[in-house]
Amino acid sequence: MTFRTIALIGKYQSPEIAESLLSLAVFLRGRGIEVLLEEGTAAAVGAHGYPVATYETIGTRADLAVILGGDGTMLNAARRLAQFAVPLVGVNQGRLGFMTDISRDATVEGITALLDGRYSREQRFLLDAEVLRSGERVFQTLALNDVVVNKGEVGRMIELEVKVDGELIHVLRADGLIISTPTGSTAYALSANGPILHPAVAGIAIVPLSPHALSYRPITVPDACTIDVGLLTPHDGRVHFDGQTRFDARAGDVIRVQRSSHSITLLHPPGYSYFAMLREKLHWSSTPRH
């Protein structure tokens, strides 16, 4: 694949990435590539003569989007660009990310490899999530990591009726519930003792949050399933999508989650390994600390 137009998307309202971003823009322009700056990024770091573009323009014009930031920046860009099928690559501006796997110090080296056609492609699916109230949709969005239903700011537990393809799994008394993609399995779901799902696994994890009874365990269901989570009276709740969007749900609402028809494509530089990333991020092979 030839990358003639590349969009640069930086961490939200972070002028400190200006130097890294602009040096990458200069490098790309030197390779004869048209560079687009995402409008929010340009507002934070300045346009410096580069064309400024909305996500929609990036979606229709760019052959590749380079995300400079962390996994949160990648999550936001992935949801915004999912419908356009623009490949994404992440340059981490801090510690190695789960999805932003080119380090800041190796930016030019990593991007050069991509431009030269040396990369691997990986598909990640998203979730379609909607909130139904008396059968009518009152909210809808996408999530790449997870959909989290919790008690919001109320101190008590909530009761959730969890169904898969219309069949009751359980009525859960807990602080909440996480519905996670394989991508999100190393995020919030991991801290709730959920399973790590390899990105190639076609499954969705349902992970209880601090359940009232220890017999409630995480379960992974096929990605073709429709998951319904009903808020039982009298409990209201709050629904979070990738930790970046939220919706205040009422007792009686149903949160419906299923695999989206949209997916994202991540491009990885040579040498990328999912298991190596896990070892580094989760310190699986580090020397024990005394």
| Residue 222 domain flag | yes
112 and 131, same domain (yes or no): no
240 and 256, same domain (yes or no): yes
130 and 252, same domain (yes or no): yes
110 and 142, same domain (yes or no): no
Q: For residue 119, give both structure tokens.
A: 């990369």
| Residue 13 domain flag | yes
42 and 166, same domain (yes or no): no
- What residues make up the domain containing 51? 5-119+269-282
85 and 206, same domain (yes or no): no
- Nearest residue to 41 via CA among 32, 30, 29, 52: 52
Please give the angle made by the CA atoms of 216, 226 and 205, to the nearest 5 degrees: 40
Instruction: Exactly one of 63, 71, 105, 236 is catalytic; name it.
Output: 71
| Residue 288 domain flag | no
| Residue 166 domain flag | yes
62 and 79, same domain (yes or no): yes
- What distances in angstroms separate CA 100 from CA 9, 97, 105, 176, one per listed residue? 12, 5, 13, 29
Q: What is the pTM of this model?
A: 0.93
CATH code of the domain covering residue 83:
3.40.50.10330
277 and 216, same domain (yes or no): no
| Residue 141 domain flag | yes
Rg (CA), the chain: 20
| Residue 177 domain flag | yes
Q: For residue 171, give both structure tokens.
A: 């009525």
176 and 251, same domain (yes or no): yes
- Tens of pLDDT, residue by residue, the chain (290 residues): 789 999 999 988 888 888 999 999 999 999 999 999 999 999 999 999 999 999 999 999 999 999 999 899 999 999 999 999 999 999 988 766 788 888 888 999 999 999 999 999 999 999 999 999 999 999 999 999 999 999 977 768 899 999 999 999 999 999 999 999 999 999 999 999 999 999 999 999 999 999 999 899 999 999 999 999 999 999 999 999 999 999 999 999 999 999 999 999 999 999 999 998 899 888 887 666 65
Q: For residue 32, give both structure tokens.
A: 């004869």
Measured N-to-C along each axis, helices 18-30 and 107-115 cross at an angle, to the nearest 10 degrees, of 30
The b/e string for 86-111 (b: 16+ C-beta within 10 A; e otherwise) is bbbbbbbbeeebbbbbbbeeebeebb
- Nearest residue to 262 via CA among 165, 166, 140: 140
| Residue 290 domain flag | no
137 and 257, same domain (yes or no): yes
Amino acid in the structure at residue 145: N
The total of structural domains in the chain comes to: 2
Q: Is 253 a catalytic residue?
A: no
CA–CA gap between residue 10 and residue 7 (Å, rounded): 10
| Residue 250 domain flag | yes
CATH code of the domain covering residue 135:
2.60.200.30
CA–CA gap between residue 167 and residue 187 (Å, rounded): 27
254 and 130, same domain (yes or no): yes
Q: Could you give phi then psi for residue 30, rounded to 5 degrees? A: -65, -25
143 and 257, same domain (yes or no): yes
